[in-house]
Amino acid sequence: MKKQNELKTSFLAIPENESLARVISASFVSQLDPTIEEITDIKTAVSEAVTNSIVHGYENSGIGMVCLNCTAMGETITVEVIDSGKGIEDIKKAMEPMFTSCPEQERSGMGFTVMETFMDKINVTSVPGVGTKVVMTKIIKSKLL
């Protein structure tokens, strides 16, 4: 039977906590003995998801919470980033490379693309006015060798 471990935490939706989310996720995944590259991939994807929650979900208001849930099951790490912000009206459009809802803030529109690049699977669900949930999965390949 595969061993499972879970972590659930939440923090205020402010930019300073984006680095906290990176450290928490990196510390959690370290139990799977990943490579430095695998840790960096996860930290980068988490950073993008949390930044999206803060900037787009809560519009940098400093009001609201971001939930970070991590699960380790065998060689698989699953990370959920959940907010109760404004939600995404068109997920397909939002996930297009270079699309940004904040061009005046000089955003690159590459957040979801970065998440897809560094993780093995990403699933986004969102309800306008209710919030967004990003679920990202990565198989720690160093465990398979």
Do residues 142 and 34 touch, judged by C-beta distance below 8 A?
Answer: yes
- The candidate with the shortest Cα–Cα distance to 127, out of 96, 93, 89, 94, is 89
Told to judge if 22 belongs to the known catalytic residues of this protein, a careful annotator would answer no
Told to judge if 75 belongs to the known catalytic residues of this protein, a careful annotator would answer no
Q: Rounded CA gap, 35 and 128, in Å?
A: 38
Told to judge if 5 belongs to the known catalytic residues of this protein, a careful annotator would answer no
Q: Which of 60, 75, 107, 116 is catalytic?
A: 107
Sheet holding 76-83, edge to edge: 4-12, 65-73, 76-83, 131-139, 121-127
Q: Which of 17, 48, 89, 116 is catalytic?
A: 48
Q: Which of 18, 22, 38, 52 is catalytic?
A: 52
Active site residues: 48, 52, 107
